[in-house]
Amino acid sequence: MRLFSLKKLFLTTIVCCGIQFSSYAQQQPEFLEYTNSKWVDSVMQKLSPNERIAQLIMVAAYSNRDSKHKEEILKLIKEQKIGGLIFFQGTAKKQVQLMNDYQLVSEVPLLGAIDAEWGLGMRLDNTISFPYQMALGAIQDDTLLYKMGEEVARQIKRTGLHMNFAPVVDVNNNPNNPVINYRSFGEDKEKVAEKGIAYMKGMQDQKILTSAKHFPGHGDTDTDSHKALPQINHPFSRLDSLEMYPFKKLIDAGIGGVMVAHLNIPALDSSGVPSTLSKKIISGILKEKLGFKGLIVTDAMNMKGVTTGNEPGVVDKKAIIAGNDLLEFTEDVPKAIAEVRKAINQGVISQKDIDEKCRKVLAVKQWVGLHKYEALKTANIDKELNNSYAKYIQQKLVEKSLTVLKNEQEMIPLRRLDTLKIASISIGAEKKTTFQENLGWYTKIDHFQLKNEASASQISAVKEKLKNYNVVIAGLHDHSKYPRNSIQYSNAVLKFIAEIAQNEHTIFSIFKNPYTLNKIDNIEEASVVIEAYQDSELSQQKAAQLIFGGFKADGKLPVSVGDKFKAGDGVETSEKIRFSYTAPEDAGMNADFLQNGIDSLMQQAMDLKAIPGGVVLIAKDEKIVFQKAYGLHKYSDTVKTQASDLFDLASVTKISSALPALMKLHDEGKFSLEDGIDDYLPYFKNSNKADVPFRQIFAHQARFKPWIAFWQNTLRKNGSYKWNTFKKDSSARFPIKISNDMWLHRNYKKKIYKAIKKSPLEEKAEYKYSGLAFYLLPQIVENLSNEDYRTYLNENFYSKLGATTLGYRPTEEFDISRIVPTESDFNFRHEPIHGSVHDEGAIMMDGVSANAGLFSNANDLAKLMQMYLNMGEYGGERYIEETTFKEWTKTQFPENNNRRAIAFDKPNLKYTGPGNNTAKDASAASFGHTGFTGTMVWMDPAKELLFVFLSNRVLPTRDNQRLYSLNTRTQIQQVLYDSIDN
């Protein structure tokens, strides 16, 4: 499915705005136009009086039960001619199979319903759950709820059903409510109505009948009507102006159904009968006072709130007499039909009344399309239900629900990462949480956990460790199935939370029901409080992104929390400053097209042994929309590639190390492209490279030789190494490790410089790629900055960006298991290369060169590249001036048929077909670089598009050229552009 077009989005917005509380005449449910249709008339003529009663009965069906249950349902359909089924637990595929079977034996098509308040995931395994309604109550853009309604409707129809017993429009103004609570949009009656209408409209516009519940309002109860009959003692004026307000508005907006709750409400009916059985409430108020002409449905007729003191069958008769049209979860169908027949014979209710109800049910069936019923196929159903568009809507809803209740001194989004030492602690967890894993995508963070019943010694140990950090991010978790208003932490853990809440620079993310905040001392004193409403994986992911500025928060608290926070509280965070991790649709890309295209090309490359594996990362509009690892570290092992693995970047180092340093130094007036090497390294004066400007050098038309095999200069004629180059053991004179039994002389760098200085020049000043000058750049950076080269890069770029894996000599910081191996070197080192730079010249520079040597995972490399794409800015901080970036990324000598920018590669001046160096749709403004080990980064400002491709194509040997012949990297790059257009 595709993201809505702008036209459709505009129309959708109008629809949603139109349903807000402007004054208009009451809209009648659409299905009512069919009550006297030809199809309904024809069915009515075929139904006996008892069969017309049976059409008002809906029994419970399950798709996770045995054949005995199925036979029971089939028997009810064949013998009792029931009108419908409400499905509960099971799977989508089985539900479709069963519904097909049930429809096959039913003379009148069955109306299928489900409780899908937050989507099919409420009932069916392996289907999508959207946020609970309390989280939705925090969202300020009701258009999203409309879109959710559309998608929920599509999914319900795909599983063979036609009616959703939703939305819940109870105003939850009782924090102790055990049954509504997180299922309510909140305590503001107008917002409850607005959101209920948006959700309802989305579903009904897709021809799914909805049923507002639980009339006349179940929000202010402290009893669960599944277990007993709640009593509400408010006066009529309060009930009329508050509890019934959303129902009135949804009725005015044209809702098709209303579900009546099991409640004892003396102000509406002093007899004490449940509202489901009250003629005063249903016929007197709902139908006559409120003018509702749609389908009136009972809450489940097996709940204790209505069954206590009432026999099955008899209770159903009472519900029909009270004015209900459809009985949900009838327990004794034959008796219910017999009791209603008895009531007709006794004159308590007329056959005409029954016929009118029956016509309503049949009209609904025609409105949803059952008059043209066709069996559904089960093929691909799980994939269709878990579609990319639904996942996108799910993500946006969670993102927009997150509510920042406090943000002292605008602490979030966190800035200046290089100044922060951050710890995260997940409370209520025993292992690293999804929240913590996602925090780690942004910068280095140390993680701790405390379980619900942590001992005093465990708490004390954590407290002591937290003293070493200047930012603490605490996640409060509740891994129960539903976010109820209870708290399970021990008193000791609660005391610990209260203590750290008073510490400056503590950030809390609450993955619990907001009412629980009232049970945590001092939580309102914390520097930052984020309410996430539920403990889902998605909520944890999005909360982490919010803290680091992946998106802006604008959620508002839908309920009051004691004296700590009030309904409507919520601080808007200032701006988006870093990556968010989101669905492709969020950036206008087609997720299915993207994934299918990339997967197939990567699989082709692996099948043909072009690469053993790799990582592909795609970002658009500063949103990472695709990050996936493929294959293995090596063809011969079982170590799977992970997205967090570090790769040898090879020549991508050229644009990722000294280049940003020189741009910064250029901004400071310390470096000029018009100067030559000799201006910064006097050693090169009087050489053939003196006075050659860096503009020409970086554009690769300075006549420099492409490369020098420095290691070959260490060999004698007999093939042994010269005595002053290598030793088998390290020492003060031979400290540079080449391999386990090769240690290079400490001054060998001078010989490399000498070889570069003396190398001859090419005859013509034309484009010829050369890496020679890049060996010299670290020294130039050190001379200009008066700092160690690696320190300068870390302090000015990598640490600030939070690019913690981006750097030289990775084994100094990371376990070798995280580093992907490269070539088995049979020429120089005579061993497999793993953890050290592949390039021979770079390893002879002690692994630190601007020619090669950097390692990184895709995520951290993308941060630097996104800074480039942003023309020098990322994380709310400017690194390099925009004018500098624009100059350095433009083609320098096109008149000389040279496509190159300043060190950056550019698309060929003319597209050369399938073997082109970039995708055909890459814009002329795009820039990037490739690496010998099989890497590629490319940025396109015209589309705000970033592409990172990491692989180790040189394994086992550099002679493997298949990645080039397949042109895998640029073919994948083209998929990105195509996914925008599809």
Q: What pLDDT digit, counting tens, does each position of 315-342 carry? A: 999 999 999 999 999 999 999 999 999 9
Distance of alpha carbon 846 from alpha carbon 848, whole angstroms: 5
Q: 845 and 752 in contact (C-beta within 8 Å)? A: yes
Which pLDDT does position 25 carry in this prediction?
Answer: 78
270-311 tens-digit pLDDT: 999 999 999 999 999 999 999 999 999 999 999 999 999 999
Share of the chain above pLDDT 70, in %: 98
Strands 742-744 and 726-727: antiparallel
714 has a pLDDT exceeding 70: yes
- pLDDT (average), residues 484-503: 95
23 has a pLDDT exceeding 70: no
The DSSP code sequence of 452-478 is TT--HHHHHHHHHHHTT-SEEEEEE--
530-539 tens-digit pLDDT: 999 999 999 9
Report residue 24's pLDDT band, with 50, 70 and 90 as the boundaries: low
Distance of alpha carbon 959 from alpha carbon 954, whole angstroms: 7
The mean pLDDT of the chain is 95
- pLDDT (average), residues 375-381: 97
398-455 tens-digit pLDDT: 999 999 999 999 999 999 999 999 999 999 999 999 999 999 999 999 999 999 999 9
Q: Which residues contact 885 (CB under 8 A, 6 or more apart)?
A: 663, 868, 871, 872
Q: For residue 161, give Cα distances in angstroms to 26, 158, 348, 384.
A: 28, 7, 34, 15
172 has a pLDDT exceeding 60: yes
Q: 164 and 86 in contact (C-beta within 8 Å)? A: no
796-806 tens-digit pLDDT: 999 999 999 99
Q: Which residues contact 599 (CB under 8 A, 6 or more apart)?
A: none
Q: Which residues contact 791 (CB under 8 A, 6 or more apart)?
A: none
Share of the chain above pLDDT 90, in %: 93
Distance of alpha carbon 762 from alpha carbon 916, whole angstroms: 25
- pLDDT (average), residues 211-231: 94
Distance of alpha carbon 364 from alpha carbon 207, whole angstroms: 10
Q: 199 and 145 in contact (C-beta within 8 Å)? A: yes
Distance of alpha carbon 763 from alpha carbon 749, whole angstroms: 27
Alpha-carbon radius of gyration of the chain: 34
pLDDT greater at residue 309 or residue 881: 881
382 has a pLDDT exceeding 50: yes
Q: 134 and 185 in contact (C-beta within 8 Å)? A: yes
Distance of alpha carbon 36 from alpha carbon 18, whole angstroms: 30
Which pLDDT does position 76 carry in this prediction?
Answer: 98
DSSP 110: P
Q: Which residues contact 788 (CB under 8 A, 6 or more apart)?
A: 782
The runs of H, that is alpha helices, within 19-91 are: 38-46, 49-54, 67-75
Which pLDDT does position 837 carry in this prediction?
Answer: 97
Hey, is 59 helix, strand or coil?
A: strand
**Cis amide leading into 109 (omega within 30):** no
76-106 tens-digit pLDDT: 999 999 999 999 999 999 999 999 999 999 9
Q: Which residues pair with 648 in a beta bridge?
A: 855
Q: 960 and 954 in contact (C-beta within 8 Å)? A: yes
Q: 92 and 382 in contact (C-beta within 8 Å)? A: yes
588-642 tens-digit pLDDT: 999 999 999 999 999 999 999 999 999 999 999 999 999 999 999 999 889 999 9
7 has a pLDDT exceeding 80: no
Amino acid at 407: N
8 has a pLDDT exceeding 90: no
Predicted TM-score of the model (pTM): 0.94
Distance of alpha carbon 147 from alpha carbon 16, whole angstroms: 10
119 has a pLDDT exceeding 90: yes
Amino acid at 316: D
Domains of the chain: 28-385 (3.20.20.300), 402-578 (3.40.50.1700), 635-926+943-959 (3.40.710.10)
Q: What phi and psi, each to the nearest 5 degrees, are found at residue 896?
A: -100, 20
Other CB atoms closer than 10 Å to residue 957's CB: what's the count?
Answer: 11
Residue listed under structure tokens 């629900």: 401
Strands 647-648 and 163-164: unpaired
Distance of alpha carbon 15 from alpha carbon 194, whole angstroms: 12
Amino acid at 902: I
164 has a pLDDT exceeding 70: yes
6 has a pLDDT exceeding 70: no
